[in-house]
Structure 1
Amino acid sequence: MEQWEAVLFDLDGTLIDSEHFYYRSWQPILAENFGLTIDFDDWLRLFAGHTLLRNIEFLKTNWGIETSEAFMWKETRAAYAQADMRTIALMPHAEEILQQLKNAGKRIALVTSSYQTTVDTVLGHHGLLGYFEFFITRECVTQAKPNPEPYLQAVSRLQMPVAQIVAVEDTATGLRAAQTAGLACIAVSRQAVERARLTAADYIVENLREANDILL
């Protein structure tokens, strides 16, 4: 069994159960403004784990939808505020895995494509900010996942060999970023559609308790 000394967690879909929240916020915007209807599996398969700019480009490429980053930023932020991000629940066993890793003396950091405001709102609401040594958020990087820049920045801050560090991710986008940075990756998803895209991971599990068994 590998002896990892540091664990880099993704946020959305990994530590917090946010994908339904984002789907419920995006779907009315797409339907009302562009006449596009997607279901939750479509969201997971086509949009989850990507940046706003990438999703805008994806809408144009695949459906010919012309919109701007400024418009989608305004619409999505308004939807998130109305829905209240503090209602986003933790993934099962999220606090448990963080506590056990801390007790074991492991270094813990967060590497996410979300903004620091989201991190502060959701993890702050659940009282989990103190578990993390640092946060690599969207503001910190020029290129978000699947580019390896977020993980390379985290490795630089840890000042540890990559062999001692593992990433925990829930999407193919995050997996690609971690592996391109030279990291081992535990993929965790309860969604079958997502697990089918994660076969390149070092381990694939359905929940954080199973991930914890691998880490400790």
Structure 2
Amino acid sequence: MKDLLNYRAAIFDLDGTLVISEPAWQAAKSSVSTRFGRSVTSAFLDSHEGRNVGAFVNEVFKKYDDDKRAKILSEIKSEAWRLLPSEIKPVPGAQEFVRALSKQGMRLAICSSSPARNIDLSLQIAGIEDLFDIRVSADGMKQGKPHPAPFLGTLETLGLTADQVIAFEDSLAGARSAVDAGLTTIAIGPHLPSEQFDFCAHQVSGYETLLSFLDQAPSFR
């Protein structure tokens, strides 16, 4: 049995887990898709939460050639970059929780589908950029979330094995990626608990619960 503070490191997803930024990404995807002749539903946008933008473009514009898809991808990223500075908000309790883990000596890493510059911006706005020296972006990876490659790459960068690390995710794609990489995974978000996330080790609705678990030193597995 291993409690939370016995892990050597924690890997966090970013969008939806530490910061609220998905509305900006969805707005960018929707507006650019419309501009290029495709409309996307809210349900479809939700289904791509936690996945990299390239996967979205490849699915929506699969009949377009590579150059056109590259242009669309670039425009979505540019539009999101324009929106994000005013749209990003920290998830309540996230800063307190990650600082508590850091004070206990845990190493902290980011594994996100967002581009690297968006990761840096989000951490800066959330006031926790000093805590994450390892920041892995799955943007541009051939195999993004839900494939385990992003988390396997983060483990390699950490130089640790999966049993030494715990992961925190809010999306199905991200949680599946972490679990399939062999990580004990905590699903977090106001949409939880949900049967869809039963494959995760634990589900919590917010950081208040995790902070109380820290005080009690509970066992997650």
TM range, smaller chain:
0.7 to 0.9
Conserved 8 A contact 2:54-2:140: no
Corresponding letter in the other structure for 2:23: H
Instruction: Answer with 91-100 or 129-138: which moved more.
Output: 129-138
1-structure distance, mates of 2:159, 2:84: 37
Q: Where do 5+ consecutive residues of structure 1 fail to align?
A: none
Conserved 8 A contact 2:184-2:200: yes
Corresponding letter in the other structure for 1:206: S
Q: Structure 1 residues 20, 53: CA separation in 2 closer, same or farther (over 3 Å shift)?
A: same
Q: How far apart are residue 86 of structure 1 and its match?
A: 4.9
Give the 3-state SS of the residue equivalent to 2:146 in structure 1: coil
Q: How far apart are residue 30 of structure 1 and its match?
A: 2.7
Conserved 8 A contact 1:189-1:195: no
Give the 3-state SS of the residue equivalent to 2:36 in structure 1: helix
Q: Where do 5+ consecutive residues of structure 2 fail to align?
A: none
- Count matched residues: 210
Select the residue among 15, 31, 42 that pairs with 2:34.
Answer: 31
* Aligned match of 2:110: 110
* Aligned match of 1:171: 171
Conserved 8 A contact 1:186-1:202: yes
1-structure distance, mates of 2:195, 2:72: 30
TM-score scaled to structure 1, two decimals?
0.84
1-structure distance, mates of 2:38, 2:75: 15
Alignment of 1:1-216 (within 5 A): 2=3, 3-39=6-42, 41-44=43-46, 46-60=47-61, 66=64, 68-138=68-138, 141-191=141-191, 195-214=194-213, 216=217
1-structure distance, mates of 2:115, 2:61: 24
Q: How far apart are residue 130 of structure 1 and its match?
A: 0.9
Give the 3-state SS of the residue equivalent to 2:41 in structure 1: coil
Conserved 8 A contact 1:186-1:211: no
Q: How far apart are residue 10 of structure 1 and its match?
A: 0.4
The alignment's C-alpha RMSD in Å is 2.5
Give the 3-state SS of the residue equivalent to 1:177 in structure 2: helix
TM-score scaled to structure 2, two decimals?
0.83
Instruction: Answer with 100-109 or 50-59: which moved more.
Output: 50-59
1-structure distance, mates of 2:69, 2:211: 38
Give the 3-state SS of the residue equivalent to 1:185 in structure 2: strand
1-structure distance, mates of 2:182, 2:203: 18
Q: Structure 1 residues 201, 75: CA separation in 2 closer, same or farther (over 3 Å shift)?
A: same
Conserved 8 A contact 1:86-1:125: no
- Identical-pair percentage: 23
Q: How far apart are residue 202 of structure 1 and its match?
A: 0.5
Q: How far apart are residue 140 of structure 1 and its match?
A: 8.5
Q: Structure 1 residues 168, 191: CA separation in 2 closer, same or farther (over 3 Å shift)?
A: same
